[in-house]
Amino acid sequence: MRKKVVRRRTTVVRKPKKKASVFSTKLLRFSLVAFFVVLLIGTVYHYRNGLAYYFSFKSDKALKEKAEAKRISDVRNFQVLENHEGKSIGLDVSEYQGIIRWSYVDTLEKKYPLDYVFIRATVGKDRKDRQFKRNWLGAKENKMIRGAYHYYRPNENSLEQAELFIKTVTLQKGDLPPILDIEKLPKNQSLDSLKVGLKRWLKAVESHYKVKPIIYTGEKYYDDFLKDEFSDYLFWIANYNFYREKMDSDWLFWQFTEKASVPGIKGNVDINIYNGDLQQLQFITVE
């Protein structure tokens, strides 16, 4: 008789997983919290003057105005302006600002005088800014130094664009040189062709007004496409980045924000800093 073989089940004993060290977890959390606290304190300290101004720690009058909403961009604006104390401040406008009450356009943040204004005159080869004539006269009556700029369309004939600007803008003694605004890359032509067109516009306008134009563009566009080949021109550079608080020495103007509030203008306005004081600004105007 065969013996019945009884197979015993083998019990697999699983070793318990090692639990993460409670101490390590707490240390990691503490380190993260400490890092963000230090970062916050550092940011607050860096912008202490701007925060003090906008969160009403400077005067009793400011405390009463506490209800006015202030954005973080305003804090940066104040910091930038403070860093450039003594520099000449101005704005730039177009039809997008609507009807401007020029007699009210005087100071920024009730502290910084607005000395000059750039006014859009033309766009491409066939479009005049709808508010140019009104703004051009209004700025003059408000005794502001004024400058006219052309928004360049890369895919349109450069000489036709120059002709439109010349027909539209009459510069007088005390006005700023004409300005070429280039922001976009071409769709239907090479970069070399774009540069040829820009040079044609600049030369045609210089020939007419007998003064070298200024070029407006973004900082990256300037660095990548214009800085070397157009080095004999003066530049008005746009950069709104939060980390950027000072202008480079080779910039003539710096458009540092598009979110400022100015008396007499509804909505946001672009603000610019000239790399010099008012007397030096007057030195570069048309004679």
Check residue 71 and give its pLDDT.
58
- Residues 54, 94 within the same domain: no
Say yes or no to pLDDT of 76 above 50: yes
- Residues 32, 171 within the same domain: no
CA 229 from centroid of its chain's CA atoms: 23
Residue 148 and residue 179 in contact, taking contact as beta carbons nearer than 8 Å: yes
- Residues 129, 169 within the same domain: yes
Q: In this predicted structure, which of 46-60, 79-93, 161-175 has the lowest mean pLDDT?
A: 46-60
- Residues 54, 129 within the same domain: no
- Residues 95, 170 within the same domain: yes
Is residue 18, in this structure, part of any structural domain at all? no
Residue 147 and residue 136 in contact, taking contact as beta carbons nearer than 8 Å: no
Q: Is-catalytic flag, 60?
A: no
Tokens of 80: 């930038």
Is residue 33, in this structure, part of any structural domain at all? yes
- Residues 159, 189 within the same domain: yes
**Pick from 230, 279, 218: which is nearest to 254 by CA?**
218
Average pLDDT along the chain: 86
- Residues 43, 172 within the same domain: no
- Residues 49, 155 within the same domain: no
Residue 282 and residue 94 in contact, taking contact as beta carbons nearer than 8 Å: no
Catalytic residue among 68, 183, 224, 277: 183
- Residues 156, 205 within the same domain: yes
Catalytic residue among 92, 115, 219, 270: 92
Q: Is-catalytic flag, 141?
A: no
- Residues 202, 93 within the same domain: yes
Is residue 4, in this structure, part of any structural domain at all? no
Is residue 9, in this structure, part of any structural domain at all? no
Say yes or no to pLDDT of 154 above 50: yes
CATH of residue 158: 3.20.20.80
Query: What element of type H or E holds 75?
Result: helix 72-83
Q: In this predicted structure, which of 45-49, 73-77, 199-203 has the lowest mean pLDDT?
A: 45-49
Is residue 138, in this structure, part of any structural domain at all? yes
Is residue 15, in this structure, part of any structural domain at all? no
- Residues 145, 255 within the same domain: yes
Task: Report how far apart, in Å, the C-alpha atoms of 195 and of each of 140, 151, 200, 215 are.
Answer: 34, 15, 9, 13
Is residue 129, in this structure, part of any structural domain at all? yes
Query: What phi and psi values does residue 28 have, to the nearest 5 degrees?
Result: -65, -45
Q: Please give the angle made by the CA atoms of 156, 268 and 118, to the nearest 5 degrees.
A: 50
Higher pLDDT, 26 or 249: 249
* Average pLDDT of the segment spanning 146-175: 98
* Average pLDDT of the segment spanning 187-215: 96
Residue 176 and residue 145 in contact, taking contact as beta carbons nearer than 8 Å: yes
Interstrand relation of 253-260 and 269-274 (parallel, antiparallel or unpaired): antiparallel
Give me the domain span that covers residue 49.
Answer: 23-70
Check residue 32 and give its pLDDT.
77
Picking from 70, 103, 130, the residue at the C-terminal end of a domain is 70
Picking from 44, 70, 96, the residue at the C-terminal end of a domain is 70
Provide, rounded to the nearest whole percent, the portion of the chain with pLDDT above 70.
Answer: 80
- Per-residue pLDDT reduced to its tens digit, 108-153: 988 899 999 999 999 999 999 999 999 999 999 999 999 999 999 9
- Residues 61, 104 within the same domain: no
Residue 119 and residue 93 in contact, taking contact as beta carbons nearer than 8 Å: yes
Is residue 80, in this structure, part of any structural domain at all? no
What pTM was computed for the model? 0.77
- Per-residue pLDDT reduced to its tens digit, 12-67: 555 555 455 666 677 777 777 777 777 777 665 565 555 544 444 444 454 444 43
* CA pair distance 259, 268, nearest whole angstrom: 5
Rg (Cα) of the chain, in Å, rounded? 29
* DSSP state for residue 15 in the 8-state scheme: P
Domain total of the chain: 2
